[in-house]
Chain A
């Protein structure tokens, strides 16, 4: 049956003789290990093609979805991290193999006639592969890809004459955005691989036609099985390296989603482009284009012209020049790469920024497990109280306030660390029972209103207060409830809720606090009026704190103070997300918050990979 089918197939295709010819093809000079680098590169290309194809099953090229899909592959899908890891580390392996192959070919003078054309095809393969590395780096739309590719496209714009047009074409406009990503995707996943396959086929066809550039001295052997085995060993090495790196690093890195507003992201290109990056440092300002465009294209030109060296110099000398050139460039690249890496290793501010970036990467991947908002992964962190809220607090609030006994820390002119002066309350736990109880105990502490003389009302109350400690406990219980008011509940509805109306702390509150404070409106809980004081309806809730940030001078807040003594309004300086995240940060209302009694709304998290 099987034989029958095979016979039929052979009759129509003649596949048996094709296979036999391939297997029995004589290898001039015997099967040599050094021919195996070509096989290694071919296998590396196929490995990249295979894993790249797999990644395309999930990857989704748009600014809102790219990061999420890569995250999903990497952190959620079965074996996704292995597939992505092999693709990531496979790109480096391919490039290293290519360079080895190039050095080897130059060494064997394989660029010489009659192999010039194939040499150029090889150089083109190198350029295409570097292009693949460059464009692939961008696709996850994480901080790393975003910023370093931004640098690259700006470098492109330095090209004389056509630079700006080239950049606009590549970016798909003047701004980085949706068009950029889809363009890079098509270039990376269709255009360049297509070119690569064509070039590879041509290259291999030429190799077969012309034979290896330095045949060994042994007798010819057949392809099968010795040569096949040696090729396969090369392939195995090329597969083993990225697999080992993947397992060792537990997958490829993924930074936080691209954030165009990031202030200190330390952008670096992938390590095999670090030498170019380092070179920029030697060509500052106007001369930059020397390092970015002239030197790299000059090097490329030398590679292309290498076959003609023979016509200028005597043959031996030409080969010597070619070898020195290649070794010189490889050495130079190695030196610059080392310089760049060691400069970063010594640079404390780079290390700091990198550490912060790692924290943000970890946090965004944690948050993403609970689901990414449909508006895009960029909102993961910009709506995260822990990262963004904390950041807003430091930039906007800690100039006057403290948080947990600390202000902003900066360096004075001697490089000594100094902390900002505290002019207002410590906001840690603001709105919680503990904060209220502390305030009732010692209103003139610097944690509360000690540094805010215009808010001396609480201190004057304390001096004349007759409430016992047990009563104060109950008042604190009561006031801590205020923050829990539902935003859709009116003050009257709230005051009639038995939880409020029958609260054991109500009486003491009315007796003393209510002398000055009203809650909602006068007469509802208390009359107020003895001294000016803010309205306490919803005190400590998201709404109340947000209002305090945006309208501290409203009549129900601190409008009774002289405008100079009020807290400045931050309306217009902060977005809604800014305000909400800082409020939620103060209320410990976020996943992973320290205060346990604030219940987190449990989203159904995706199972992280084991």
Chain B
């Protein structure tokens, strides 16, 4: 037999829990929305340039132009990032072009080319990369992130790249979905 006092105590705790749940559960679900409802960020191929525009061993940066959804807004196609293209030596090589996203694997700044064009340099915390994307100092956790490249079969092939973003500050190259 429970006392009146205990009855009140249990009822109070039960009721408090119920109120907390009714308000808290939707509140938490709402706050977790960006995780619960991942919006896929496209990830299709974007045309960037023609092979003929590139010189062997001279990196060039091209904007990625794509329509974009930002929460409730739909933006028309506009630059949403940029990609470094490096043409590889040798006619008819298996990979005539290598593409790197300009997003730094360290903490996401935009990687630039050094003034002499011999290496990539990130202006934020001096991550340095060779033209093949390998890290040249211990600042970045990994090399520059290469992107999948597709060439059309024209006589002057069109270069398209699958534009993706990757997790920063990790040894592995993990795409963000």
Flag the segment in A224-232, A262-270, A298-306, A407-415 that touches B.
A224-232
Q: What CA separation (Å) do A232 and B22 show in the bound complex?
A: 14
Q: Check if A235 is an interface residue, CB within 8 A of chain B.
A: yes
Chain B contacts for A243, CB-based, 8 A: 22
| Contact pattern, A 236-262, Cβ under 8 Å of B = 1, otherwise 0 | 100110010000000000000000000
Smallest CB–CB gap between A54 and chain B, Å? 6
Q: A54-B27, A229-B8, A232-B16 are in contact. Are A80 and B33 (CB under 8 A)?
A: yes
In the assembled complex, how far is the CB of residue B19 from the closest CB belonging to chain A, in whole angstroms? 5
Let me know if B19 and A235 touch, CB within 8 A: yes
Majority secondary structure of chain B interface residues (helix, strand, loop or mixed)? helix
Task: Determine if A381 is an interface residue (Cβ-Cβ < 8 Å).
Answer: no
- Could you say which residues of chain A place their CB within 8 Å of the CB of B30? 54, 57, 73, 77-80, 82-83
Task: List, in ascending order, chain B residues with CB within 8 A of A76's CB.
Answer: 37, 72
Is residue A603 within 8 Å, beta carbon to beta carbon, of the partner chain? Answer: yes
Interface residue stretch chosen among A11-19, A191-199, A371-379, A441-449: A371-379
The yes or no answer to A137 lying at the interface (CB within 8 A) is no
Please state if B37 and A47 are interface contacts (CB–CB under 8 Å). no
User: How far, in angstroms, from A373 to B67 measured CA to CA in the complex?
Assistant: 12
Determine if A50 is an interface residue (Cβ-Cβ < 8 Å).
Answer: yes
Annotate B70-105 by CB proximity to A: 1 below 8 A, 0 otherwise: 011111100000000000000000000000000000
A606 at interface, CB cutoff 8 A: yes
**B159 nearest CB across to chain A (Å):** 24
Across-interface contacts of A72 in B (CB, < 8 A): 71-72
Interface size band for A: 35 or more
* Set of chain B residues within 8 Å of A372, measured between Cβ atoms: 72-74
Contact status B18-A236, CB under 8 Å: yes
A371–B32 Cα gap in the complex (Å)?
Answer: 22
**Contacts of B1-35 to chain A: CB distance below 8 A:** 5, 8-9, 11-12, 15-16, 18-19, 22-23, 25-27, 29-33
> Which of A54, A229, A232, A603 is the one whose CB lies under 8 Å from B19?
A232
Please indicate the chain B residues that have their CB under 8 angstroms from the CB of A374 in the complex.
73-76
CB distance from A97 to the nearest CB of B (A): 15
Interface residues on B, range: 20 to 34
Residue pair B72, A78 in contact (C-beta under 8 Å): no
B115 part of interface (Cβ distance < 8 Å): no
Query: CB distance A50 to B27 under 8 Å?
Result: yes
| Bound-state Cα–Cα, A236 to B16, Å | 8
List of B residues within 8 angstroms of A542 by Cβ: none
Contact flag A50-B23 (CB < 8 Å), given A77-B33, A372-B74: yes
Cβ B29 vs Cβ A79 within 8 A: yes
Task: Kindly provide the distance from the CB of B29 to the nearest chain A CB, expressed in whole angstroms.
Answer: 4
Q: Quick check: B73 and A68 within 8 Å, CB to CB? A: yes
Q: Mark B30-44, 1 if CB is under 8 A from A, else 0.
A: 111100110100000
Is A347 in the interface zone, CB < 8 Å from B? no
The CA of A117 and the CA of B25, in the complex, are separated in Å by 39
Q: Mark A65-87, 1 if CB is under 8 A from B, else 0.
A: 10011011100111110110010
Contact A603 B74 (CB under 8 A): yes
Chain B residue, CB-CB nearest to A81: B26
Q: Which residue of A lies closest to B32 (CB)?
A: A78
Find out whether the CB atom of A225 lies under 8 angstroms from the CB atom of B12: yes
Is B69 located at the chain interface by the 8 A CB criterion?
Answer: yes
Is residue A51 contacting chain B, with contact meaning CB distance below 8 A?
yes
**Which residues on the B side are within 8 Å of A73 (C-beta)?**
30
User: Which residues of chain B are within 8 angstroms of A607 by Cβ–Cβ distance?
Assistant: 37
- Residues of chain B within 8 A of A318, CB atoms compared: none
Q: Which residues of A contact B76 (CB under 8 A)?
A: 374
Give the distance in Å from the alpha carbon of A430 to the alpha carbon of B37 in the complex.
43
A233 at the interface (CB under 8 A from B): yes
A236 touching B26, Cβ below 8 Å: no
Q: How far is the CB of A88 from chain B (nearest CB, A)?
A: 13
Distance in angstroms from A42 CB to nearest chain B CB is 13
Decide: B32 and A86 in contact? CB cutoff 8 A.
Answer: no
Q: Which residues of A contact B23 (CB under 8 A)?
A: 47, 50-51, 86, 239
Known: A80-B30, A236-B18. A69 touches B12 (CB 8 A): no
The reply to whether the CB of A370 lies closer than 8 angstroms to some CB of chain B is yes
Which residues from B are CB-within-8-Å of A417? none
- A597 at the binding interface (Cβ < 8 Å): no
Q: Which residues of chain B are within 8 angstroms of A175 by Cβ–Cβ distance? A: none
Q: Give the chain B neighbours of A236 by CB distance below 8 A.
A: 15, 18-19
Q: Which chain B residues border A488 with CB–CB below 8 Å?
A: none
In the complex, chain B residues whose CB is within 8 Å of the CB of A65: 72-73
Between B19, B25, B31, the greatest number of chain A beta carbons within 10 A of the residue's beta carbon is seen for B19
- Which of chain B's residues have a CB closer than 8 A to the CB of A228? 8, 12
Contact of B22 among A71, A226, A239 (CB under 8 A): A239
Q: Closest B-chain residue to A243, C-beta based?
A: B22
Residues of A within 8 A of B22 (CB): 239-240, 243
CB contacts (< 8 Å) of B15 on chain A: these are 229, 232-233, 235-236
> How near does chain A come to B67, taking the closest CB pair, in angstroms?
9
- Rounded to whole Å, the gap between the CB of B135 and the closest CB of chain A is 36
**A371–B18 contact, CB under 8 A?**
no
Give B30 Cβ to nearest chain A Cβ, in Å.
5
- Closest residue to B20 on the A side, CB-wise? A239
User: Could you give 16 example pairs across A and B, Cβ below 8 Å?
Assistant: A57-B31, A68-B71, A69-B71, A76-B37, A83-B26, A83-B27, A83-B30, A224-B9, A226-B8, A229-B8, A229-B11, A233-B15, A240-B22, A371-B69, A372-B72, A374-B73
Question: A236-B15, A372-B72 provided; 8 other pairs, C-beta below 8 A?
Answer: A68-B72, A69-B71, A71-B72, A78-B32, A78-B36, A232-B16, A373-B74, A607-B37
* 9 tightest A-B CB contacts, nearest first: A371-B74, A68-B72, A79-B29, A225-B8, A79-B26, A82-B26, A72-B72, A78-B33, A229-B12
Chain B residues engaging chain A, CB cutoff 8 angstroms: 5, 8-9, 11-12, 15-16, 18-19, 22-23, 25-27, 29-33, 36-37, 39, 69, 71-76
Chain A residues at the B interface, C-beta cutoff of 8 Å: 43, 47, 50-51, 54, 57-58, 65, 68-69, 71-73, 76-80, 82-83, 86, 224-226, 228-229, 232-233, 235-236, 239-240, 243, 368, 370-374, 603-604, 606-607
